[in-house]
A = this chain, B = another copy of it.
Amino acid sequence: MMGADSPSAVRAETAETPEASDRNRTIEALESPESIAAEVSTRIEGFLASKAAEFLTISPDAHDIGRALLDFTRGGKMIRPVLLWWGYQLAAGDDPSRDRMTGGVAEAAGSLELLHAAALIHDDVIDHSDTRRGKPALHRQFESHHAERSYQGGAEPFGIAAAIVVGDICLALSEELFERSQTVLGITPLARDLRATLRRDVMVGQYLDVLAEVVPLEDERIGERAWEVLSYKSAKYSVEQPLLLGAALGGADEEQLAEISKFGFPLGQAFQLRDDVLGIFGDPAATGKPAGDDIREGKRTVLIAESMKNLRPEQVQVMAERLGDPHLSDDEVDECVVMLTESGGLDAVESFIRTKYDEALSVVREWADRGAHADTTRTTIGATAQRQLEGFAKSLSYRTS
């Protein structure tokens, strides 16, 4: 990996964000999600391997930290890195310096994936989740080590303690990888601010989510709360802000960032609304989560809030008793699922998804329609890029896993 004296670091001294004049052209095609995922995975693995080696110089006992993180970061969907990369491309265009910037963009994208890993590690502790990405959750893995190695004391508290600390380490590594990207790309104050905002929003969103689950179901702010959590914990963090951060790294101005938000935010909302639907109606074989998981976890989603509007008082009472009860039988979960459908909650959410998805698509079409008359610094895309953005938007809004 890159050190302070590497060629990349030296190059960085002359690196500048592309000038507006260089960006004033149509983006014909975006990098493919597969190649971005491959490039970013390679960066993350190299970075984590070098960090794991550092940890070992502190103590041989630090072995499991690196191993756990390497293992945990494999197999993610890489949605945020792809969006960061595309944001960069939309802003930087085919600027001639782009190639030599690729390493920095991959590092910034990898940094988001590590931030996400850190959030998931702590999220699973908070939600008492047993599985993640089809494998035991990180705290469960450490809990297993405890038994395998005949450690003393409680296995579960050990697993939780280790996961809290490893999550903290992962968060710190995310910062460090972002720092490295700035060595290659040059210091970009706007991007640094956006990164701080992204990090803040996902964490505050997570806090609001924790709080929403303990507020009585009949509380009048249930709907507002659900939209707050959806927007900050996910829509902004997962879609809008990765795009914006990439665009800022690529030299976007405020006007272009505002345009990208008009695409990213509604798409992010559609993405999370779909997640809420899958959390209850999804096929466990496809989602990797047990059926009705969100009901046993007590998630207060927009789906729940919409359903509440039309439930009869006795149904509200049943729902209030069951949401968040980890010991519900499958039949009890099924009865809740029926209520969510019959109340019109599911239809309402599907309708929101359609509206948000259409909103995002209309922005993409606007960018494409401008393509032939690219006389501004605004985003303009060619037919291939349009197809890619539309396809990705569809896959986020209408995925099954």
**B residues less than 8 Å from A53 (CB atoms):** none
A43 close to B (CB within 8 Å)? no
Partner-contacting stretch, out of A75-83, A197-205, A342-350, A376-384: A197-205
Q: Are A179 and B162 in contact (CB under 8 A)?
A: no
Report the minimum CB–CB distance from A84 to chain B (whole Å).
18
**B residues less than 8 Å from A221 (CB atoms):** 61
| Besides the known contacts A146-B214, A168-B206, 16 further A-B residue pairs in the complex with CB atoms under 8 A apart | A59-B208, A61-B225, A61-B228, A62-B207, A122-B164, A126-B164, A151-B214, A164-B164, A165-B206, A165-B207, A166-B207, A168-B168, A172-B199, A172-B203, A175-B175, A176-B196
Q: Are B324 and A203 in contact (CB under 8 A)?
A: no
Q: Are A171 and B169 in contact (CB under 8 A)?
A: no
Q: List 30 A-B contacts (CB under 8 A).
A: A4-B193, A54-B200, A58-B204, A58-B228, A59-B204, A59-B228, A61-B211, A62-B207, A62-B208, A65-B207, A126-B161, A126-B165, A150-B216, A151-B216, A152-B324, A153-B298, A158-B214, A162-B211, A164-B164, A165-B203, A165-B210, A168-B206, A169-B200, A169-B204, A171-B171, A171-B172, A172-B196, A176-B196, A179-B192, A183-B189
A187 close to B (CB within 8 Å)? yes
Q: Are B216 and A152 in contact (CB under 8 A)?
A: yes
Q: Are B165 and A213 in contact (CB under 8 A)?
A: no
**B residues less than 8 Å from A166 (CB atoms):** 207
A265 close to B (CB within 8 Å)? no
User: Helix, strand, loop or mixed for chain A's interface?
Assistant: helix
Partner among B59, B193, B203, B211 whose Cβ is within 8 Å of the Cβ of A225: B59
Question: What size tier do the contact residues of chain A reach?
Answer: 35 or more
Report the minimum CB–CB distance from A36 to chain B (whole Å).
26
A105 close to B (CB within 8 Å)? no
**B residues less than 8 Å from A215 (CB atoms):** 151-152
The verdict on A214 contacting B58 (CB below 8 Å), with A65-B204, A122-B164 known, is no
A281 close to B (CB within 8 Å)? no
The verdict on A232 contacting B58 (CB below 8 Å), with A165-B122, A196-B179 known, is yes
Complex A-B, nearest 5 residue pairs according to Cβ-Cβ distance, in ascending order: A151-B214, A126-B161, A165-B207, A161-B210, A59-B228
Q: Are A122 and B168 in contact (CB under 8 A)?
A: yes
A47 close to B (CB within 8 Å)? no
Of the candidates A54, A152, A167, A201, the one having the most CB atoms from chain B within 10 angstroms of its own CB is A152
**B residues less than 8 Å from A150 (CB atoms):** 216
Q: Are B207 and A162 in contact (CB under 8 A)?
A: yes
C-alpha gap A118/B192 in the complex (Å)? 21
**B residues less than 8 Å from A196 (CB atoms):** 172, 175-176, 179
Interface members, chain A 113-143 (any B CB < 8 Å): 118, 122, 125-126, 128
A398 close to B (CB within 8 Å)? no
**B residues less than 8 Å from A126 (CB atoms):** 160-161, 164-165
A55 close to B (CB within 8 Å)? yes
**B residues less than 8 Å from A200 (CB atoms):** 51, 54-55, 169, 172
Q: Are B59 and A189 in contact (CB under 8 A)?
A: no
C-alpha gap A324/B162 in the complex (Å)? 17
Q: Are A203 and B168 in contact (CB under 8 A)?
A: yes
Report the minimum CB–CB distance from A211 to chain B (whole Å).
5
Closest B residue by C-beta to A175: B175
Q: Are A214 and B298 in contact (CB under 8 A)?
A: no
C-alpha gap A172/B202 in the complex (Å)? 11
C-alpha gap A193/B65 in the complex (Å)? 21
Closest B residue by C-beta to A59: B228
Q: Are B125 and A164 in contact (CB under 8 A)?
A: yes
Closest B residue by C-beta to A193: B4
